[in-house]
Amino acid sequence: CLWCYTNNTCIDYPVRSILPSSSLCSLSNARWGVCWLNFEALIIALAVVAGLILVSITVCCCYCCYCRRRSRSRLDEEEEQLARKREERRLQSLQRKHERKLKHDEIRKKYGLLQDSDNPYSRFENE
């Protein structure tokens, strides 16, 4: 139903067109469905709601893209930092291994257990 305030009549809504023509009733005087719902206000309200939805979707998409880029750079930095720490631990481990080998060689030398590097297969003999 399309209620027109200018002539106080209820007209069947023109289904073929989205907006009623001005020959039937002017847009400011047309009411849709119920007498208190102004057609012009309804169109403005729907446009504002649709605009807010589009703006919020756009803002969310931009924010998400920014966060992804930011998180990727953070992940790259963390990965690089972990690789540096892993390399440092590996170098420290090799250094400790070398120090242990030197200590063990000193102990072997002290007790006469150090083998000749020329003949590693020589037999151990008690003197």
From CA 82, how far away is CA 55, in angstroms rounded? 40
Enter the pTM of the model: 0.47
103 token code pair: 């200590």
Local confidence pLDDT in tens for the 127 residues of the chain: 777 777 777 777 777 777 777 777 777 777 776 677 787 888 899 999 999 999 999 998 888 887 777 777 777 788 899 999 999 999 999 999 999 999 999 888 888 887 655 555 555 565 5
Question: 36 with 22: CB under 8 angstroms?
Answer: no
Question: Structural domain boundaries of the chain?
Answer: 1-37, 40-112
